[in-house]
Amino acid sequence: MVDPPAPVQSGTTVRTERDDAPPRGLGIGLGITVLAVGVAVAFGSLAGAPAQVATDVVTAQAQPPEAGAPPTTNGGRPLAAAFGVPFPDLAARLGWQPVGRRDDVVDGREVRTVVYARAGRRLAWSVIDGAPVPVPPGATSVPVRGPGTAQFESGGRTAVLTTRGGHSVVVSAAGVSPVALVRAARAQ
């Protein structure tokens, strides 16, 4: 005859062989999670955090120009273009005069910027080489006709991201309204 199990005392844990084995899916799930985190870290460090390219461009735009203003036409349009995208004439309609330019490499991409000035404020208008960059986290969509346009804040500057000629364009300034930046981004 088999003896009945001994009564369990209060506060005692009864273990069986089955209790010592980890749950069947736990090891697989943990392995997949570790692999996913590793891939995300690798791609984030190799690709330069793609979602932050636009905000990193705004950081570069906040730096002073490296060179003087590009030459302009009689109408004020800069005779400069970046990656096939001409810089706009912001003087005629919006009163922004080109005052300088700079070239940067941001997250592995070439960026060309023309800096404009009006009433003591500076506005940076940049073209990013390559395919359009992702919209930064927290950006808001701006309802305009034409290419998608997003507004975001970065480093004390208000910025607008749009596309032109297959490239991303970032326009930013401190102390300038988002409406004025959208107008500058859409100007020809």
pLDDT, tens digit (0-9, with 9 covering 90-100), for 117-152: 999 999 999 999 999 999 999 999 998 877 789 999
Task: Count the helices and strands in the chain (H runs, E runs).
Answer: 5, 10
Name the nearest CA neighbour of 186 among 149, 143, 141: 149
Q: What is the pTM of this model?
A: 0.72
Q: Are 167 and 153 in contact (CB under 8 A)?
A: no
Computed over every residue of the chain, the mean pLDDT equals 80
Helix (H) or strand (E) holding 159: strand 157-164
pLDDT, tens digit (0-9, with 9 covering 90-100), for 31-46: 343 333 333 333 333 3
Q: How far apart are CA 180 and CA 118, in angstroms?
A: 12
Q: Are 129 and 113 in contact (CB under 8 A)?
A: no
End-to-end alpha-carbon separation of the chain, Å? Answer: 97
Residue 50: C-alpha distances to residues 104, 131, 141, 160, 165 (Å): 17, 11, 19, 17, 20
